[in-house]
Amino acid sequence: DPDDLYVDHAYDMIVVSNRLPVDYEEQPDGGIGWKSSPGGLVTALEPVMRAADGAWIGWAGVADREFDPFEHDGISIIPVPLSESELEEYYEGFSNDTLWPLYHDVIAPPSFHREWWDAYVRVNRRFAEAAARAASDGAVVWVQDYQLQLVPKMLRESRPDLVIGFFNHIPFPAYGIYSQLPWRRQVIDGLLGADVIGFQRVADAGNFSRAVRRLFGYRTHGTVIDVPDTDATSNEGDVRRVVARAFPISIDAAGFEEMARRPEVQRRAAEIRESLGNPETIILGVDRLDYTKGIRHRMKAFGELLRDGRLNVEDVTLVQVASPSRERVETYRQLRDEIELTVGRLNGDYATLGHQAIAYLHHGYPRDEMVALYLAADVMLVTALRDGMNLVAKEYVACRFDGDGVLVLSEFAGASDELRQAVLVNPHDIEGLKDAIVEAVRMPRRERTRRMRALRRRVIDNDVAKWSASFLETLTGAGIITAGVTEP
């Protein structure tokens, strides 16, 4: 009975994210089905949620459908509906055509539309109301990502008893860029409703604190921001202490390694190499088809290496997995056209009957197939122009229990703060990128294993369980400190 799941004020731990850990899937017979939405967040939070008897609030991935709450793998799922126009204005519009390009350093120009902002406010309020209704007295509510930045303040206003966390999975830009946002004050005000605001990189947290000082003049010391307390019970000059700091997200490293060790996955990896004609070197790119990922830069560099004869199509194949994403947003459509034109040209110019230059796959794949691809790849290319973290880089490392494989990693991905033994690149520098690819292809085995050993230590020691534990410890600790602070 769904009424048992949606008991008011029943949950001590709530995660709120735009996307639920499960996506709605229409069955051939017209019935309702649910499939796990792939992604780090789910694996990160599932164990925590199951232990805490928590609820997950989010959107089921389709417009104009209402679903009752249900139970999935021991987690209560509370779907929030979006209308078709909200899908256009809040999700495709303000989230993915305003905030996404703005927060990724305006790689694409952001669009500013007042109707989109209105929809963003309206939908954020709906998520906040769902959380306020489901949360028990003093519950912990953890809000995720840029689609829901207003939820912390909305929640605090209706439920001051809650402990509220926010984690931003994407970059937070420098003030000179952030300040373009017409609603720059409202967004920061919304975030400051949280007790702890988490970012991927130290630089992101710094950009946020700077924006708070510039726009509000609040005092910051280290990772703490003094926010004037407007609670009904507070006195003049009281402050609430908000923590804003980096918590670099990670993956279930042991889970990836376990999958990589399965004989059937290793057989699949060998089969992939075989089907590509057993080239000496397989280079792999795995991304959502997004303009932040630097897929064009990567293809340009690879194409020039073939043109210049520094790489030979008989020996080297680039496999590019580009999973479909946000396909109704114009910038994404354009990108797809450009990339597919480039793939066609490169294969037309350099492929032979037996050897493709680029094997391009516009699909999402299940995790075991991704792991087989990671095992098959001698070189992994992560050339993002801007990326909050980039979990693909960490997944590749976690899968390489054989200690082999070379990671080429953009310094503009958050992962580069930690994965220092990768071959680090500036993807805008096409000559430098070409040299890095050649270096990776030719790297002697001793050096490959030396680097991979160091990378693996890092990823295995800092897995996603550690990430969520560290955030939640800071959050629940912060709740106690906050209650005691009344001095400015």
Sign of the C-alpha dihedral computed for residues 213, 218, 220 and 223 taken in this order: negative
Q: How far is the CB of 436 from ligand G6P (least distance, A)?
A: 25
Strand order in the sheet with 239-246: 70-72, 75-79, 55-59, 11-19, 135-144, 163-167, 196-199, 239-246, 224-228, 220-221
Collapsed DSSP state (helix, strand, coil) of residue 108: coil
List the end-to-end C-alpha distance of the chain, in Å, as a whole number. 49
Q: Which residues, other chains included, contact 353 with Cβ-Cβ below 8 Å and sequence gap of 6+?
A: none
Q: Which is nearer to ligand G6P, 136 or 325 (CB)?
A: 325
The pairing of beta strand 281-288 with beta strand 11-19: unpaired
Q: How far is the CB of 61 from ligand G6P (least distance, A)?
A: 8
The pairing of beta strand 55-59 with beta strand 70-72: unpaired
Name beta bridge partners: 323: 288
Of positions 136, 223, 323, 325, contacts ligand G6P by CB under 6 A: 325
Of positions 326, 386, 400, 448, contacts ligand G6P by CB under 6 A: 326
Q: Which is nearer to ligand G6P, 23 or 439 (CB)?
A: 23
Q: How far is the CB of 145 from ligand G6P (least distance, A)?
A: 4
Q: Which is nearer to ligand G6P, 190 or 303 (CB)?
A: 190
Q: Which is nearer to ligand G6P, 392 or 478 (CB)?
A: 392
Strand order in the sheet with 423-425: 358-361, 316-323, 281-288, 379-382, 406-410, 423-425
Q: Which is nearer to ligand G6P, 156 or 326 (CB)?
A: 326
Q: How far is the CB of 396 from ligand G6P (least distance, A)?
A: 17
Q: Which is nearer to ligand G6P, 250 or 281 (CB)?
A: 250
The pairing of beta strand 11-19 with beta strand 135-144: parallel
Q: How far is the CB of 168 from ligand G6P (least distance, A)?
A: 9
Token output for 330: 């114009």
Sign of the C-alpha dihedral computed for residues 157, 161, 162 and 165 taken in this order: positive
Q: Which is nearer to ligand G6P, 100 or 374 (CB)?
A: 100
Q: Which is nearer to ligand G6P, 153 or 326 (CB)?
A: 326
Q: How far is the CB of 9 from ligand G6P (least distance, A)?
A: 27
Angle ∠(324,398,274) on CA atoms, nearest 5: 65
Q: Which is nearer to ligand G6P, 398 or 440 (CB)?
A: 398
Of positions 126, 156, 169, 456, contacts ligand G6P by CB under 6 A: 169
Of positions 13, 14, 19, 297, contacts ligand G6P by CB under 6 A: 19
Binding to ligand G6P by CB under 6 A, coded x per residue (else -) over 330-359, reads ------------------------------
Q: How far is the CB of 292 from ligand G6P (least distance, A)?
A: 9
- Other CB atoms closer than 10 Å to residue 402's CB: what's the count? 12
Residues 117 and 182: their CA atoms lie apart, in Å, by 9
Angle ∠(173,174,179) on CA atoms, nearest 5: 90
Residues in the chain: 488
Q: Which is nearer to ligand G6P, 86 or 145 (CB)?
A: 145
Could you say which residues in the range 123-162 bind ligand G6P, by CB under 6 A? 145
Could you say which residues in the range 389-408 bind ligand G6P, by CB under 6 A? none
Integer CA distances (angstroms), 295 to 339, 366, 440, in order: 8, 21, 18
Q: Which is nearer to ligand G6P, 250 or 421 (CB)?
A: 250
Q: How far is the CB of 179 from ligand G6P (least distance, A)?
A: 22
- DSSP-derived letter for residue 270 is H
Q: How far is the CB of 195 from ligand G6P (least distance, A)?
A: 21
Of positions 170, 295, 306, 321, contacts ligand G6P by CB under 6 A: 170
Q: How far is the CB of 487 from ligand G6P (least distance, A)?
A: 37
- DSSP-derived letter for residue 336 is H
Residue nearest to ligand G6P (CB): 169
Q: How far is the CB of 326 from ligand G6P (least distance, A)?
A: 5
Number of residues that bind ligand G6P (CB under 6 A): 6
Residues 422 and 215: their CA atoms lie apart, in Å, by 38
- According to the binding rule CB under 6 A, does residue 293 interact with ligand G6P? no
Instruction: Give the distance from CA 149 to its chain's centroid.
Output: 15
- Contact residues for ligand G6P, defined by CB under 6 A: 19, 145, 169-170, 325-326
